[in-house]
């Protein structure tokens, strides 16, 4: 009953729950660092793909000089609508776009940035090829992907806790998609197939995911990601129960009150040399 196509759907109440819970839980820690990697480069125009609700966009707008234009895109219009509503410190252009078919001219950006979105692209090499196409010579593609699920403790705990709920049709979203594109050799191959001939720089960075209670990561993962789509596709009435099961498992592993779990990601920078 698993439907990988539903992995790409961030609609309904997901965007607001994603912004309220998941962004501070796991995305904020990496967003500023990603933007900082571009701050020292000479840039005129930056493209962000899979911008989600705009956590990286906000840091780009704050850290990059005001004369650097920023175009932030996402496949899911509801995510962009919320990103625009939350806003940025200076104007950016919000635009719905498919990363595998970018509506921009060749060699029109100095950098393409994507935080934790590549895993959702059905054809990674094609998306990399599109990024390379819109980059100027000397431009960079900068993106992040989560490491294997075992290195991301809240996600791993939630995934394991929900298995008994659906024994005949297990929920595979977390391991399949957010944590399914961690192999560096595969990423390097896809980059080469996308036209990036120079070996990328890869940094593996661990951080801590901290929440005031176990309820927060349970809500974040079960209701603020497409894991919710998987749960509701099996039995819509079990969403609340699944969230409670996840909360109990997190509390059992990390304690009651404030919880603190490891997260880990790969940060990859590939340059278009010609």
User: In this structure, what CATH number is given to the domain that contains residue 261?
Assistant: 3.40.50.150
pLDDT tens, position by position, 182-195: 999 999 999 999 99
pLDDT digits (tens, 9 = 90+) for 14-32: 889 999 999 999 999 999 9
Q: What percent of the chain has pLDDT over 70?
A: 96
> In angstroms, rounded to a whole number, what is the distance separating the alpha carbons of residues 66 and 44?
10
* Structure confidence by residue, pLDDT tens digits, 94-106: 999 999 999 999 9
Residue whose pair of structure tokens reads 């609609």 in the numeric block: 11
CA dihedral 145, 259, 31, 83 (to 10 degrees): 100
pTM of the complete model: 0.94
Provide the pLDDT for residue 7: 39
Reported as a single tens digit per residue, the pLDDT across 126-135 is 999 999 999 9
- Taking residues 166-184, what's their average pLDDT? 94
Q: How many domains does the chain have?
A: 1
6: confidence class by pLDDT, cuts 50, 70, 90: very low
pLDDT in tens, 43-92: 999 999 999 999 999 999 999 999 999 999 999 999 999 999 999 999 99
CB 182 within 8 A of CB 150: no
pLDDT at 9: 45
- Domain region containing 156: 4-271
Residue 12: pLDDT band with limits 50, 70, 90: low
State the Cα–Cα distance between residues 55 and 47, nearest whole angstrom. 14
Euclidean distance between CA atoms 106 and 45, whole angstroms = 13
Phi, psi of 45 (to 5 degrees): -145, 130
């Amino acid at each position: 009953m698993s439907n990988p196509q539903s992995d790409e759907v961030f609609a309904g109440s997901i965007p607001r729950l994603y912004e309220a819970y998941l962004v501070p839980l796991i995305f904020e820690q990496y967003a500023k660092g990603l933007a900082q990697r571009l701050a020292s480069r000479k840039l005129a125009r930056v493209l962000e793909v899979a911008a989600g609700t705009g956590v990286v966009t906000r840091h780009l707008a704050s850290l990059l000089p005001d004369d650097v234009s920023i175009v932030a895109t996402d496949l899911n219009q509801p995510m962009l609508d919320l990103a625009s509503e939350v806003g940025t410190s200076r104007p950016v252009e919000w635009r719905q776009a498919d990363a595998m078919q970018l509506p921009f001219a060749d060699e029109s950006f100095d950098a393409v940035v994507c935080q934790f979105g590549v895993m959702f692209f059905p054809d990674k090499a094609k998306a990399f090829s599109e990024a390379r196409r819109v980059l100027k010579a000397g431009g960079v593609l900068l993106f992040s992907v989560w490491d294997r699920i075992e290195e991301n403790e809240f996600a791993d705990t939630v995934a394991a806790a929900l298995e008994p709920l659906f024994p005949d049709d297990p929920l595979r979203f977390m391991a399949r998609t957010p944590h399914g594109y961690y192999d560096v050799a595969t990423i390097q191959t896809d980059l080469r197939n996308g036209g990036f001939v120079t070996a990328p720089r890869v940094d593996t960075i661990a951080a801590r995911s901290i929440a005031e209670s176990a309820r927060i990561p349970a809500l974040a993962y079960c209701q603020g990601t497409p894991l919710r789509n998987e749960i509701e596709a099996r039995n819509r009435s079990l969403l609340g129960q699944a969230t409670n099961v996840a909360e109990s498992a997190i509390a059992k592993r990390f304690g009651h009150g404030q919880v603190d779990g490891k997260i880990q990601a790969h940060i990859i920078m590939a340059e278009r040399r010609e």
